[in-house]
Structure 1
């Protein structure tokens, strides 16, 4: 693959995201390695937005320069896409957009009854999707009503150029020469022009911006759409508004560079910003806005490389690759982010690439001549980022070379995340309390409404923002009783960690034949662990006998592996005390134990056992964890469903090595949901919709029958890892496969199936209103109106207790339901399952089967990279 220093080609994948109303500046076309970019905004109106945040003012930023980015010499053949793009512009009677009859029927029913339904084809059902259980509470959220002036709409036009013009920049320049005729408010993606008013079909005469030749621009009306039917235009519009507020775009989001907060002790800085999204919800068209933060390192990649070379002069290349590859870097000269896929040790800034007119230009000369940047280290290797772009109708991969000296790592490493002091320093700026967050959101709205350019952008399309966030009708479910040995517990804070260690577990597994591995200089720590285990275990109903102690000569990986193979094959469980935390050693031990021997293991960092103030709590939790790994049960909740199998699924994608993805499937084996059956499967990298889950479902049903003597009547699946764009695909592919699987397992077997999509990475925030103050909602708070989807049956649930910052609810979408369960029952069951995760004595963000699937997929994909032994399939060995 040829390496290029960047490019000027227009990216069809970003057409709608990168349009601007201003006419392109008349300037010489840069060489193939350069892509003109906007400079970083400075000060101004955008400063008003985050007045409520206690962020330190950053030092003045150096002037930004244009970037080395993109691919060289591409001409986008827009006509190749014209047929497919115009196929979507169907014109209905009177110029209105055609709408499917089924969708109109759903909409009519919803408006009539105040109800909603899922567009589920033949399986669509229309019923009330609003629950009634629980106590009504006042709440607000981070949604702003987007008001649409009556009669406003969007007119869509096809734009043709004669002679044919391929380059987007020239297309826009030719069209925008007639701004007096088409108006200021417009969006043009190279093929389709969107206007808030109607134009007659016309042919405009333009001059080519380079040679002055005549070009005819033909504008052909295609259809009229209501504003609410063109949601994508809103999101394009708000990107322009962010620029009008002088915010800096990094990746997909916008940040206030002038408000960044420096953390010199850790060589970090935090940029505050916003995430915005406009969509149509049950309560109408709304803007969802949330605070966002970008953690940047002030050290360049070259600084990181030099540090590694000094520490590891003999094996520095591998260390540098492990440190850098797969991570995201920021090039400050254009504020763009790139994912590092490779380090080319054979290329340096002295290397040359093909510039304009195929002229060979070195990176040194290019940066110095084009941007005034003088690269100091001429021998540094180059970073390689492979970017996929659309060329015509095909996706091509282009390698972009980056200079380490000009690149900064974003985010935090695992080592940095383990640094308590560092994370505490970062949390000062990123963990925002509900009252402070809400005030920041209102300041954003105020900035938009008081900035003339931003306000005009909305007004030109007949839009305006409400000054306040919208209020919600939320419900608070009753506190869950936790059933333990000899009684039950109730904790209004959804956290019963203080009580669980004082009560017996409901099904204990005694430690009778277990092995303890440790290096010889950790003997005192190992002895203390055994002593405390014998002391605290009986209180929880766990009898701890003396282990077989194995003292190791050193902490090498092969030493641990050899001792594990020799002593652990016939053990109940192997407890291993590591002197330090190392991923490679952890992965090697887990692979041997989980895949080869089929023996549960418990790995302990000796540092956690040396903290005298916390050692009691640590030992108690370790004993509980070991009990789970041996097949025991700690606690349960009352689940009033009989003969039901509850499943959880998740997929792990390796973000760095891009290896095979791992899907995990967890299914319950008893009514109390205390016993689980675990399966994994491997698939191509990046695959999310997993056909192999059908095989897992068949195995899970056979295992359920083996344990219970009958198949389940109801099957409930919590499917994690599905985004909005994959909902329909999952509904149309996965669910029919599950249904076809049932009959293959047993002829005529047709259980009731309910599938819920679990979404954790959302921007929705809910604030409870108590005595005119905003606080985090209590665990059990449910919102299923106003901000829920129009065409899906969904709800938001807060199931965890958060002491700092603002809680993030979890979004549940009922993708399919043939069980005819009431929405109240689905919501309550979901809340109950959030207490059944045995690695945390309290409520967590997602139902336990989802979290179990996540942990299993992560362990398999990150460490063992092989299927686990069948001996462990009915145990929670991965906790």
Structure 2
């Protein structure tokens, strides 16, 4: 009831009570319980927008997501005993708000967007209009996650996330497995093509600008990216239409570095950690004299010293000036729908990381259930796709 009230207070339509409850029986598996829910919905003609799943432990999470996403096509929201306690007993508003934001995204809602009538930064609005909105920009987030040294039976997972609307608020994803420890994406053409096709299906027009934020790449791999992944994107565009040649901007996002910045004027520092303000850009003196790079601290330092993100612009056909690109990047850091604050990296990159994490649960669940014995390189042709956010907010 507390969550329902919170959802309604944030504009999400929710009924007073769920359509029905399903209690797990003795010796039931997660798959058995979700199957009964799916069967009842099919039998009674119930449109199931969301299934709340109360877990005894986080160990069941992988199986819930695997069965819900792949086997039965059910959207699930898992809650642990501690979460239930925070909501029911402690009445923690922050916990309830976090759950409400997740629910809204899962049922197709938009949590964050730019209120254009209230923006007083003319430079930001010009950058968004000229390079995103008017040119139907497709903003791509790319990430690859690898198994640990002891997880020799697991593959690497590559995800490509892109917006499907012209306001860059709704993101969908394509995800594939590939040989372990391989950073360059083997299925780049197919994954990019999926993002292009879906963008065209939704908007009726192809993007004129494509901005790619690539995560997880070291400086020693920049040339490989330019020689392999950038041409793969070009081939995907050409396969889409022979004369289709959008303007491409390719940016590498780096979070793992040792650079930290502090305010010369202590009065300008923020918080107990005396951090630089969110939105601070450093693009001189400490940046490379030969490359196009900059640091952006886009988040508020809540605890400890803020670590800015470093951006390397490897390729830019749109000829954006530095201020425009930095403004767009900072704007994208406000679109992560699970958080009411700006985050440290652009939302498409964050979503790409989440997609990889979800796909990892799918792989682990398949291994644990015996559907596959272990990963082999032949499995790299397998693929699935997953949604990060859609449009209207409505729940039943």
Into which bin does the TM-score normalised by the smaller protein fall? 0.7 to 0.9
Note the residue ranges of structure 2 that are not aligned, 5 or more in a row. Answer: 42-47, 117-127, 367-381, 391-396
**2:22 matches 1:563:** no
Q: Secondary structure at the match of 2:311?
A: strand
Specify whether residues 615 and 597 from structure 1 end up closer, same or farther in structure 2 by C-alpha distance, changes over 3 A only.
same
The superposition leaves residues 559-582 of structure 1 with CA deviations (integer Å, 9 ceiling, x where unpaired) of 322010120364221110113x23
Contact 1:678 1:875 in 2 (8 A): no
Aligned to 2:147: 654
The superposition leaves residues 506-548 of structure 1 with CA deviations (integer Å, 9 ceiling, x where unpaired) of xxxxxxxxxxxxxxxxxxxxxxxxx213322221111222211
> How many Å apart are 1:654 and its aligned residue?
1.4
Cα distance in 2, alignment partners of residues 625 and 804 from structure 1: 23
**2:272 matches 1:795:** no
Cα distance in 1, alignment partners of residues 223 and 208 from structure 2: 26
Aligned to 1:742: 237
Q: Secondary structure at the match of 1:854?
A: helix
Cα distance in 2, alignment partners of residues 582 and 805 from structure 1: 28
Alignment of 1:678-827 (within 5 A): 678-771=173-266, 775-827=274-326
Alignment of 1:65-104 (within 5 A): none
Alignment of 1:606-625 (within 5 A): 606-611=81-86, 612-625=89-102
Contact 1:664 1:856 in 2 (8 A): yes
Cα distance in 2, alignment partners of residues 594 and 614 from structure 1: 30
Alignment of 1:362-761 (within 5 A): 531-545=1-15, 546-547=17-18, 548-554=20-26, 558-568=28-38, 570=41, 571-579=48-56, 581-583=57-59, 585-611=60-86, 612-637=89-114, 638=116, 639-640=128-129, 641-642=132-133, 643-655=136-148, 656-658=150-152, 659-761=154-256
Structure with bigger strand share is: 1
> How many Å apart are 1:600 and its aligned residue?
1.2
Q: How many residues end up aligned between the 2 structures?
A: 341
Cα distance in 2, alignment partners of residues 536 and 773 from structure 1: 35
Aligned to 1:95: none
The superposition leaves residues 313-345 of structure 1 with CA deviations (integer Å, 9 ceiling, x where unpaired) of xxxxxxxxxxxxxxxxxxxxxxxxxxxxxxxxx
Note the residue ranges of structure 1 that are not aligned, 5 or more in a row. Answer: 1-530
Contact 1:537 1:544 in 2 (8 A): yes
Cα distance in 2, alignment partners of residues 874 and 779 from structure 1: 25
Cα distance in 2, alignment partners of residues 632 and 727 from structure 1: 36
**2:334 matches 1:835:** yes
> How many Å apart are 1:614 and its aligned residue?
4.5
The superposition leaves residues 470-518 of structure 1 with CA deviations (integer Å, 9 ceiling, x where unpaired) of xxxxxxxxxxxxxxxxxxxxxxxxxxxxxxxxxxxxxxxxxxxxxxxxx
Cα distance in 1, alignment partners of residues 141 and 95 from structure 2: 28
The structure with more radius of gyration: 1
Cα distance in 1, alignment partners of residues 302 and 97 from structure 2: 23
Cα distance in 2, alignment partners of residues 614 and 805 from structure 1: 28
Q: Secondary structure at the match of 2:111?
A: coil
Q: Which has the higher contact order (CA 8 A, sep 6+)?
A: 2
The root-mean-square deviation of aligned C-alpha atoms, in Å, is: 2.0
> How many Å apart are 1:863 and its aligned residue?
4.4
Aligned to 1:852: 351
The superposition leaves residues 155-176 of structure 1 with CA deviations (integer Å, 9 ceiling, x where unpaired) of xxxxxxxxxxxxxxxxxxxxxx
Aligned to 1:484: none
Specify whether residues 786 and 535 from structure 1 end up closer, same or farther in structure 2 by C-alpha distance, changes over 3 A only.
same
> How many Å apart are 1:619 and its aligned residue?
2.3
Aligned to 1:352: none
Cα distance in 2, alignment partners of residues 625 and 705 from structure 1: 27
The superposition leaves residues 737-776 of structure 1 with CA deviations (integer Å, 9 ceiling, x where unpaired) of 2112211111100000001000001111111112489731
Alignment of 1:321-400 (within 5 A): none
Contact 1:594 1:869 in 2 (8 A): no
Specify whether residues 727 and 614 from structure 1 end up closer, same or farther in structure 2 by C-alpha distance, changes over 3 A only.
farther
Structure with bigger helix share is: 2
